[in-house]
Amino acid sequence: MALKRMFCLLTGTIMLFASSIAWSAEVHGTSSTQYTWFNDILTEKKQAEFGEYLSLSVTKLDKDNKLTLQGYGRLTQDILNGQGLNGRLYYLYGDYSNLFDKVDIRLGRQFVNSAAGTAIIDGGKIDLKNVGPVAFSIMGGRNVFFNLDGEATSHRDFAFGVSTYLYGFRNTDAEVSYFMKLDNDGVARDQLGGSFKQYLFNSLKVYANTRFDLPSETFTEVLAGVKYFPLANLVLTGEWYQSYPIFDSTSIFSVFAVSRYQEGVFKVDYSINDKIAVNAGYTREDYDGEDADVFDVGCRLRPIEHLTLNLNYDHRNGYGGRLNGGIAEIFYDLTKKLELAGGIHFDVFERDRVTGEETARKYWLGSKYKLTNNMSASVRVEDNVNARYKEDWSGRAAFNYNF
């Protein structure tokens, strides 16, 4: 299967470059070659991998530039534990826009997103627009998902969705949609969704999103929020969120009891000047009758031109225990080409009085060097120290090429 996916990715790449030659198209993208090392949490063995991440975009395939091709995938090779070659193709599709100035067509592997649900599909998506104040969208195809070893989709996994949304309104967005997912045992998800966003008086944004599960007759997610911009450098945010987790209807876990979660959030973000920005927030969490309070404050400082400091602190008390945590990060442009960075994450938490206080710490160092305008190299190394590990080293070295 890994070789098959690798073949699909390489074939797609060849098709894209062949198109560029035949039609004098423009080919752009990013290649990221990476070496990563970490401890596998399942086997508790040291793991090391080489990986190649490739994204491609091909435009100007026709004189009106209506047709584009997009692709993104990865190949990884384990070098310690004999797990071999593993490949994932995340998307590879052709997109033809403005057919008869009314229709957009996308075919291939793609990520589809609506208020009712999201999926990666091998299939198609069609949008009908410029037919009035409302536009329509329909999508469907083989539902693609991955496990640790690669793609886990069976021949009976499908996803389908339709949506209608406002079109052509500058300050208003609204959508109503339907999403259905099928697997080997029948209908796994059957959902309705809606979203709304409205700008008012050039200083206020009101928004809301919701999803409704038809089999359980339950609102699985509800979000309502307001953002107020009294000044160009000041943002006030208030949100209310509710979640009632569900499993696929065909899953054994669908019979398990779950709890409803709610939270109210208030946040302030204020940029005092180009050197100082501060933020603060309060969250009231409700776990189906059990409460917790979360406070967080932070700032971003630029004491000198090439130095940036990020400082954050949060305190949580209530259901689930008590937490005090902080983050300190520094970024320094040593030269125009070289950036150095490092950070400390420190948490002190108490799950209950029996276990007492525990600590979790993460230390990391990184750097990025710009070789040319389109080539760069980066390194990041971190160590995690917590109740489970006295040390847990991991890291990544990457070479990136933009073309």
Residue 8's pLDDT band (boundaries 50, 70, 90)?
Answer: low
Average pLDDT, the chain: 91
The C-alpha atoms of residue 58 and residue 21 are separated, in whole angstroms, by: 11
At residue 356, the 3 state secondary structure works out as coil
Cα–Cα distance list, 122 to 107, 158, 191, 284 (Å)? 8, 9, 20, 41
Between the alpha carbon of residue 53 and those of residues 5, 30, 316, 348, the distances in Å are 14, 8, 38, 37
**pLDDT of 17:** 47
d(CA 320, CA 361): 20
pLDDT tens, 233-257? Answer: 999 999 999 999 888 888 888 778 8
Domain limits of the chain? 1-89, 100-218
Instruction: Report pLDDT digits (tens) over 194-230.
Output: 999 999 998 999 999 999 999 989 999 999 999 999 9
Q: What angle do CA 389, 392, 397 make, to 5 degrees?
A: 170
- pLDDT at residue 6 is higher than 60: no
* pLDDT of amino acid 353: 67
Using alpha carbons only, how large is the chain's radius of gyration in Å?
A: 25
Distance, in Å, from the CA atom of 381 to the CA atom of 391, rounded to the nearest integer, reads 13
Render pLDDT for 75-122 as a digit per residue (tens, 0 to 9): 999 998 877 888 999 999 999 999 999 999 999 999 999 999 999 999
